[in-house]
């Protein structure tokens, strides 16, 4: 019960962190550089916490017995983060959420079913599959519910596509971006793959936490590797590490705390993955993430424009809860 609440709590952190980093990104002028700052703050926080809590040595001898790939948790986290930045202008905000969520749930189920990455195998059963499917449907309703419209065939142009020609239209920041149909399929598949990276990161964090004897140390290691990886990405994409207007007066102080929130999320994932499995951790975190996102939209928290929340979105959250309960049975 407490572990379930911890998973939901860690998920609630995500939309808050997103809003904070978005505000920081506006001041810096780049979401990637904002994430780099966030990683830096998180690394400092985790290093401080590790030095205070111990135990020493910081890297125990048991770490040498762990598999080499467990140290790449941070790389998968940065891949997921960078992927979302790349997806948004290609697919629009809606698919940028839906595709990774699908990948996270599917990979979480596979990791648990086959015992990948050193996890304890949990054989697939019809009930588990049904639970995962119902959870996914619930999340889709919660995220995309207001956008679901049943349009009569007469409204569609010849050929059955809502968009003429071989292109689809993605909406991002109010601007229409035309993406060829084949490219949209490829980017959608990439979105699922990026979501899978997030689930893999969760599994690796659990393994790393066991090897290091502490989820705090696992989080620190993940942040070190992640920061290095993200710095390389920024060097190639932005070609500058400028902070833009972030240091000017008038900016809210809270835009700098995204790293602290991220560190808390990573620690929770490292602990939960080792105790309740990757699949359940992913689902609980997503539940908190979606629920928290609806709250941020509903009340316009942290400078986010207030948006109405439709009843079908609340229904989606309830459906997701039912799916998670079935998955746990």
Which residues are CB-neighbours of 254 under 8 A, at least 6 positions away? 20, 23, 302
From the CB of residue 233, how many other CB atoms can be counted at a distance below 10 Å? Answer: 17
Q: How many CA atoms lie within 13 A of 298 on its CB side?
A: 12
Domain containing residue 318:
2-151+163-328
Whole-angstrom CA distances from 31 to 11, 89, 154, 243, 314 are 21, 13, 41, 11, 30
156 in any annotated domain: no
User: Would residue 157 count as lying in a domain?
Assistant: no
**What is the number of domains present in the chain?**
1
- Output the pLDDT for position 46: 92
HSE toward the beta carbon, residue 321, CA cutoff 13 A: 11
Task: Quickly list H helices, the chain.
Answer: 2-28, 31-53, 73-114, 126-144, 181-212, 215-237, 258-276, 278-299, 311-328
Dig out the tokens for 218 from the structure: 């696992």
The token duo for 8 is 């939901």
DSSP string, 103-120: HHHHHHHHHHHHTGGGPP
Tracing tokens 């620690």 back to the chain, one arrives at: 267
158, part of any domain: no
CA pair distance 301, 299, nearest whole angstrom: 6
pLDDT in tens, the chain (329 residues): 788 889 989 888 888 888 888 889 889 999 899 999 999 999 999 999 999 887 777 788 878 888 999 999 999 999 988 887 778 777 776 677 788 888 998 998 899 888 898 888 888 888 888 888 998 898 888 887 776 654 444 444 444 444 444 444 444 444 445 555 677 788 888 989 999 999 999 999 999 998 888 899 999 999 999 999 999 999 999 999 999 999 988 899 999 998 999 899 999 999 999 888 888 899 888 888 888 888 888 888 777 778 888 888 889 889 989 988 888 77
Cα separation, 191 vs 185, whole angstroms: 10
- Please tell me the distance from the alpha carbon of residue 224 to that of residue 237, in angstroms, as a whole number: 20
* Domain membership flag for residue 20: yes
Neighbours of 125 (CB within 10 A): 12
Q: What is the pTM of this model?
A: 0.80
Please report where in the chains the tokens 């993200």 appear, as a residue: 230
In angstroms, rounded to a whole number, what is the distance separating the alpha carbons of residues 147 and 157?
20
Identify whether the C-beta of residue 157 lies closer than 8 Å to the C-beta of residue 165: no
Answer for the pair 219, 204: CB distance below 8 angstroms, yes or no: no
User: In this structure, is residue 296 part of a structural domain?
Assistant: yes
């Amino acid at each position: 019960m407490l572990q379930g609440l911890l998973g939901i709590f860690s998920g609630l952190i995500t939309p808050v962190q997103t809003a904070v980093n978005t505000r920081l990104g506006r001041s810096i002028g780049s979401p990637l550089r904002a994430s780099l700052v966030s990683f830096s703050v998180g690394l400092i926080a985790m290093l401080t916490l590790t030095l205070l809590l111990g135990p020493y040595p910081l890297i125990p001898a048991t770490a040498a017995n762990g598999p080499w790939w467990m140290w790449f948790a941070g790389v998968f986290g940065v891949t997921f983060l960078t992927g979302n930045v790349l997806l948004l202008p290609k697919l629009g905000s809606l698919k940028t959420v839906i595709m990774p969520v699908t990948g996270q749930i599917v990979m979480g189920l596979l990791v648990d079913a086959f015992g990948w990455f050193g996890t304890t195998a949990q054989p697939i059963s019809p009930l588990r599959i049904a639970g995962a499917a119902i959870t996914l449907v619930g999340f889709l309703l919660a995220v995309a519910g207001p956008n679901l419209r049943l349009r009569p065939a007469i409204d569609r142009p010849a050929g059955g596509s809502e968009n003429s020609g071989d292109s689809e239209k993605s909406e991002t920041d109010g601007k229409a971006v035309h993406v060829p149909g084949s490219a949209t399929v490829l980017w959608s598949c990439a979105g699922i793959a990026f979501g899978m990276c997030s689930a893999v990161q969760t599994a690796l964090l659990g393994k790393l936490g066991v090897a290091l004897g502490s989820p705090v140390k696992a989080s620190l290691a993940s942040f070190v590797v992640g920061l290095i990886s993200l710095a390389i990405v920024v060097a190639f994409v932005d070609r500058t590490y400028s902070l833009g207007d972030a240091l000017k007066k008038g900016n809210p102080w809270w835009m700098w705390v995204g790293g602290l929130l991220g560190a808390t999320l990573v620690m929770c994932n490292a602990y939960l993955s080792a105790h309740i499995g990757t699949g359940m951790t992913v689902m609980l975190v997503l539940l908190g993430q979606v629920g928290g996102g609806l709250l941020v939209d509903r009340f316009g928290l942290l400078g986010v424009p207030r948006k109405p929340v439709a009843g079908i979105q609340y229904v989606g959250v309830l459906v997701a809860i039912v799916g998670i309960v079935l998955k746990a049975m």
